[in-house]
Amino acid sequence: MREANRGDPLRGLPSVDEVARRLEHLTALYPRALIIGEIRRAIEAARQRLRAGEPADLTGIEAEVEQALAELTRPSLRRVINATGVILHTNLGRAPLPRLNVIPGYSNLEYELRSGRRGKRDVHAGGLLERLLGRPAIAVNNNAAAVYLALRELAAGGEVIVSRGELIEIGDGFRIPEIMAQSGAVLREVGTTNRTRIDDYREAINERTRLLLRVHPSNFRIVGFSERPDLAELVALGRERRIPLYEDLGSGCVVDLAPFGLDEPTPQESLRLGVNLVSFSGDKLLGGPQAGILAGDPDIIARLRRNPMYRALRLDKLILQALETTLRCLLLERWDEVPALRMIREPASRIRERAERLVEQLPPGVAEVVPGRSVLGGGSTPEQSLPTWLVAVNAQDPVELDRRLRRAEPPVIARIQDDRLLIDLRTVFADEEPELIAALTDALS
């Protein structure tokens, strides 16, 4: 490497050709164009550090390039072991997917095998959804898209009446009012943050009203001095004024979870009460992939399907396969084949047995089993949790132990509380336990 000029540290940077000659042996593993591109990236990064007055190891550029090239061969999206006890962990993909054999090659995505003619891709999930919900249904790529499509088709250019207490943010900065504005619908707020009555809706109705909107607070709770109309009151008002009632349920709970201590409304109940349209997520309590489900009156669903934006928001074949697999498990009541439901249904006593067996396989005195709580997460059932048993690992530096676990293969994601690393086996698959024990043993040593 040429000697650095003391007056101008940038003159010490090697040329692309210099580094490329020293990395000539890599051409057997990687395309030359890719190697050159990574060399330029590394040199430019060193140049920016020097300009900022920061130290730059000019002798380590080759190693930096080799590391970058090696990382490009490894998938960025990887399987991780979720030991946090958060079932619908937003950062870890929300609902864990059922076992799925991805169809290789071609499929009958939009082809009717019986007639030999072109078909529609939504038939693969539509029939299952209709049997589950009792109404026609379609799916788009997430619930924000479902809200947008519904408002775009049913209320663009008109007004949508919604309670101020339901103008929520649904995550990652997406807010219901902003989605409504993009749809072309005009927001008509009624009531106050904590109290809205049926007469507030009634008095706001005018010749421009196109829709009554109710948003279920799936990711928050208003407690204390609060009030909101019963769903039956809104249904009656909508029928009286001949205005459709649309309810965004968010979490998409299609199974009664009351036996497990969780209170969450179902779209089936809303539709039974007379709601004209409901929407909810596919990757929350439904237990499937990211999707937005819309179900309701046949004429409304037909309108949504005809809207040009439906094509722009439709599902890919991989998502459709995952959704169809999940819906079939739900329809056939194969609850344990839907991982999220299996985790919710697993009794705390069984988790305690698993935790005790795991502790027995760790060095003596390293960990103990303590009571705790699992949460659903993903913007679902706030302030509701499930009893569980935790493996509490005692370490001098729990932060460093957590870092080591995240670098394991596969990475283990745990949580730290009260200076101890905690592992909740509710969200760990049984066949992942040997990998978890190996990762823990290695990290502790």
- pLDDT single digits (tens) 52-69: 888 777 788 999 999 999
192: helix, strand or coil: coil
Q: Give CA–CA dist 250/285, Å, rounded.
A: 9
Residue with tokens 């009460």: 273
**Spatial separation of the C-alpha atoms in residues 192 and 200, rounded to whole Å:** 10
| 427 CB burial (10 A radius; 0-12, 13-18, 19+) | buried
Coil, strand or helix: which one is 149? helix
List beta partners, residue 137. Answer: 295
Q: How far apart are the first and last CA of the chain?
A: 40
Distances (CA, A) of 216 to 192, 339, 375, 379: 16, 24, 19, 11
Single-letter amino acid, residue 385: S
Q: How far apart are CA 85 and CA 345, in angstroms?
A: 13
Q: Are 47 and 12 in contact (CB under 8 A)?
A: no
Cα separation values, 185 from 153, 188, 198, 275, 308, Å: 9, 9, 21, 20, 17
Ramachandran sector of residue 213 (left: φ over 0; alpha: ψ -120 to 50; beta: rest)? beta
Residue 4 has what pLDDT? 44
Question: Rounded to whole angstroms, how far apart are CA atoms 229 and 211?
Answer: 16
Rounded to an integer, what distance in angstroms lies between the CA atom of residue 330 and that of residue 327? 5
* DSSP run (H or E) holding 370: strand 367-375
**Regions of the chain with pLDDT less than 50:** 1-5
Q: Please name the residue that has the structure tokens 């026609």.
A: 136
Please, is 34 exposed, middle or buried when counting C-beta atoms within 10 Å of its C-beta (0-12, 13-18, 19+)? middle
pLDDT at residue 170, as a whole number: 61
The H-assigned helical ranges of 5-116 are 16-22, 32-51, 61-72
The H-or-E segment that residue 267 falls in is helix 267-273
* Structural contact between residues 252 and 381, judged by C-beta atoms closer than 8 angstroms: no
Q: Of 332, 321, 323, 334, whose CA–CA distance to 286 is shortest?
A: 323
DSSP state of 195: B
Q: How far apart are CA 346 and CA 50, in angstroms?
A: 56
Euclidean distance between CA atoms 135 and 270, whole angstroms:
11
Task: Please state, in angstroms and rounded to a whole number, the distance separating the CA atoms of residues 134 and 225.
Answer: 36
Which are the contacts of 81, defined by CB distance < 8 A and separation ≥ 6? 410, 411, 412, 413, 428, 432, 435, 436, 439
Query: Are 279 and 147 a contacting pair, CB within 8 Å?
Result: yes
The pLDDT score that the predictor gives to residue 54 is 83
Q: For residues 211 and 243, give the distance between their C-alpha atoms in angstroms, rounded to a whole number.
A: 6
Residue from 252, 6, 258 nearest 146 by CA: 252
Of 383, 384, 88, 379, nearest to 248 (Cα)? 379
Which residues touch 399 (CB under 8 Å, ≥6 apart)? 416
Burial class (CB in 10 A: 0-12, 13-18, 19+), 412: buried
